[in-house]
Amino acid sequence: MYVCEWSITSSVVDEFAERLPGHKETDWRVSWLPGRVLTRAQAIAAIELAELLLAPAQPGADIHATIAAIAEQLGIRPIDAAATLSARHPNR
């Protein structure tokens, strides 16, 4: 994951976050969560969640707890995050 002042990108998945121009520093938009304004920490978490769901390094029991914790931070259910990302990336 690459985190800059204005954007967050991933070398693993084709999802990104960007700071909203003309807004407060804390207002971010995430590609797979359209219509939501997130904090920078939430935007980082959203990209991390996309990486975990679409390209997990090593599946295991602890990854489920991490996914659940990140989804809770974003105020979404893990299954909803998985469904949204699956629809955006049908070949993964």
Q: Is-contact 30 17, C-beta < 8 A?
A: yes
Cβ atoms 29, 42 nearer than 8 A: no
Q: What are phi and psi of 32, to 5 degrees?
A: -95, 5
- pLDDT number for residue 59: 65
Task: Give me the pLDDT at residue 61, please.
Answer: 63
- The token pair at 43 is 């935007």
Per residue in 48-83, pLDDT (tens digit) is 999 999 987 766 668 889 999 999 999 999 999 999
pLDDT tens-digit profile of 12-55? 999 999 999 877 778 999 999 999 999 999 999 999 999 999 98
* Tokens matching residue 91: 């070949």
